[in-house]
Amino acid sequence: MANLLNAKQTTLRERVVVSGIGVHSGKPVEMILHPADPNTGINFLRVDRENGTELEIKGSFSSVIDTQLCTIIGHPQKGMIATIEHLMAALVGYGVDNVLVEVDADEVPVMDGSSRAYIDAIDQVGLTELSAPRRYIRVLKPVRVQNGESVGELMPYDGTRFDVTIDFDCDSIGVQTFDSEMTPEVFKRDVSLARTFGFMSDVERLWAAGYALGSSLENSVVIGDDQKIVNPDGLRYSDEFVRHKTLDAVGDLALAGAQLLAHFRSFKGGHKLNFNMLEALFADDSNWEWVEAAASKRNSMRVGVSHTSPAIQAAMGPETN
């Protein structure tokens, strides 16, 4: 994920439109990815065309309001955008630093349940380098979170590495581990195609409760009551389940506000654990520091003078060079 050879921030060359349905509402969604200025990061714009209102939401862990079924950002009364993790994974995993995401519904379109459609949209218009140096958040000491059986760790590391293990009492899943450096190339090839998954009994329960109304075999890997995969075409990777959990982690940790230089490990994790990892990381300023890509040496990094938390920095507005 952290491409140390790229010393400059990036944005899209031009805007691109992505249309689909919301996985929970089942209703049409139009999303527009707009180019953005340096040091603005990833921001969302919830547009209510019927009422003529707009709400800007920072793509930050400080904007998270729920992690039960997916990652949701916004304000319970003013407006929200759900299921942002697959898009966030595509943007940060593929090296997009600055973008404005305009959405005309309460959800990002689910597409095929992976990040590939968003990657294809980025490829369609391409990226452009900006004048500002790329900024990272470097983890300085181990940070650990445990929620019952779920355990997560962020450790100092010269690069970005994801080490994710899942353990399901199901013949089609079992214990799976994905452990890799996370570069744009690795993300696109090894992670971006992994789809969200669930059990048929859970899907039916969610349908009855008014959720997952857009969920289908076209955007989810479904496991039946016989513990076998229902999808006629089977899996895209033999270990697609853990790769999707890795995709989710890439997207959730992108809410740090910049790419992390760290080794992330998780066991039986999910959206809540990922969010709690960021809370724990930024609870103590001695856990982390800003670094900038040095313009003079392609592979070196230099420490920035600021140590303001991403949430506070977002509230203060973008820095000027």
The residues assigned a catalytic role are 271
Give the C-alpha separation, 27 to 29, whole Å: 7
Flag whether 34 is marked binding.
Answer: no
Residue corresponding to tokens 């979170």? 145
- Is residue 89 within a helix (H) or strand (E), and if so which, with residue range? helix 85-93
| Amino acid in the structure at residue 25 | S
Flag whether 307 is marked binding.
Answer: no
Give the C-alpha separation, 27 to 124, whole Å: 25
Flag whether 248 is marked binding.
Answer: yes
DSSP type of residue 309: -
Q: If we measure between CA atoms, which residue out of 134, 153, 71 comes closest to residue 107? A: 71
Residue corresponding to tokens 């899943």? 173
- Is residue 176 within a helix (H) or strand (E), and if so which, with residue range? strand 175-181
Give the C-alpha separation, 226 to 187, whole Å: 32
Beta bridge partners of 221: 197
Q: What's the N-to-C CA distance of the chain in angstroms? A: 24
Give the C-alpha separation, 85 to 90, whole Å: 9
Show Cβ contacts of residue 169 under 8 Å, excluding neighbours closer than 6 positions.
none
Residue corresponding to tokens 């294809």? 120
Residue 33 CB: number of other CB atoms within 10 A? 26
| Amino acid in the structure at residue 37 | D
Residue numbering of the annotated binding site? 86, 244, 248
Q: Which residues are annotated as a binding site for Zn(2+)?
A: 86, 244, 248
